[in-house]
Amino acid sequence: MGLDPSHVFVGNGSDEVLAHAFQAFFGHGEAVLFADVTYSFYKVYCGLYSLPYRLVPLDGGMRVGVDDYTGPCGGIVLANPNAPTGMALDLAEIRRLLERHPDRVVLVDEAYVDFGAQSAASLVPDYPNLLVVQTFSKSRALAGLRVGFAFGQPELIEGLTRIKDSFNSYPLDRLAQAGAQASVEDEAWLKQCVEQVIASRTQLSAGLEALGFDVLPSCANFVYTRHPNREAVELAARLREKAIIVRHLKGERTEAWLRITVGTDGQCQALLDALREILHRNS
C-alpha cells in the first residue's frame, strides 16, 4: 500500500504542523518524551498546551538511544536527523520504538532528512501511530514560503485537520502552493543542491578534524563539533569578531559544542582559515 492524499497534511511551515500535532495527539496526563538535546520548540509547544514532558538524555556519543524511551508516556517526538547533533537513527530503530509504544503517537520530525538520513515515510502504511513531519525550509531552501507537511494514516491526518480547521481553515496561500508544487516537480534541482551540501559537509568535517576538532557524523546541513581544549563559547565569540556566526547553545550538555551550518565552499574555507588563525594565535 502506498500513500495517497488521505495520508498527507500540509501547513504553514513544519512548526505549525508540529504545533497542531502536539495539541492533537499528546498528553493523556502522561509525559511526552523527547531528547534532552534536540529542537528547542518541542518544550515550547508542551508549555503552550500545558503538556507534561520528560527529557530523555542522549547517550555518551550524543546519540538517541531508542531503548531509553521506556515506560508509560503521552507520546514521543524524535528529530531524525536530530538537531543540533545532525545524527540519525535507522529505520530498524524507529520500527522498534513504534512497536514498543503502539498506543502512543510517535512523531518523527524529518526537517533535515534529505541531507542523508532514511525517511520513515515508508513505514506509515504499517504503523497507525506514526506521524512523519517534513518541511520545504531546509533542503528545498524555501523557508520564507512557510510550507511543511506530515505523512500519517488517515485517522491522524483527520486529527490534524480538525485542529487546523478550528484555528484557520485556509492556511496555505496560493503563492506558497505554487512554489511548493514547482519545488516538488524539480527533483533534479533538489538532488543537485543536496549533493552539493553533502560534498561541502564532507570537506568541512575533514577540515575541522585536521584542526583537531571532534566532529559528529552528520546527516544534516550542519555539523556539531567541539575542540578538546578550547572553549566553544570563546571560539564562537572570536569568529563573530570576524563576521562568521556559528551557533553555541548554553547549557551543561551543549556547552562544549558548536553547531556550524554548511555554507558554500568559499564560506566553509573562510571559516576554517579563521579557526586556524584563532587556534594559532592562542596557542
Q: Which residues bind ligand PLP (CB under 6 A)?
A: 13-15, 39, 79, 83, 109, 111, 135, 137, 143, 148
Give the shortest CB-134-to-ligand PLP separation in angstroms.
8
Burial class (CB in 10 A: 0-12, 13-18, 19+), 28: middle
- Burial code (b: 16+ CB inside 10 Å, e: under 16) for 33-54 equals bbbebbbebbeebbeeeebebe
Give the shortest CB-187-to-ligand PLP separation in angstroms.
20
Give the shortest CB-136-to-ligand PLP separation in angstroms.
7
Q: How far is CA 45 from CA 30, 79, 133, 139, 167, in A?
A: 15, 15, 15, 24, 16
- Residue with grid cell 538524555, as numbered in its chain: 57
- Rank residues 201 and 230 by Cβ distance to ligand PLP and give the closer one: 201
Spatial neighbors of 121 by CB under 8 A, at least 6 apart, are: 3, 110, 132, 151
- Rank residues 157 and 275 by Cβ distance to ligand PLP and give the closer one: 157
Give the shortest CB-94-to-ligand PLP separation in angstroms.
16
Give the shortest CB-167-to-ligand PLP separation in angstroms.
16
- Rank residues 104 and 259 by Cβ distance to ligand PLP and give the closer one: 259
Specify which residues 56 forms β-bridges with: 35
10 Å Cβ neighbour count for 23? 19
- Rank residues 19 and 278 by Cβ distance to ligand PLP and give the closer one: 19
Give the shortest CB-39-to-ligand PLP separation in angstroms.
4
Smallest Cα–Cα separation from 62: which of 199, 200, 256, 227? 256
Give the shortest CB-72-to-ligand PLP separation in angstroms.
26
C-alpha R_g of the chain: 20
- Rank residues 47 and 212 by Cβ distance to ligand PLP and give the closer one: 47
- Rank residues 106 and 278 by Cβ distance to ligand PLP and give the closer one: 106
- Rank residues 119 and 269 by Cβ distance to ligand PLP and give the closer one: 119
Greatest Cα pair distance, the chain, in angstroms, is 60
* Cβ(66)–Cβ(92) below 8 Å: no
* Cβ(111)–Cβ(138) below 8 Å: yes
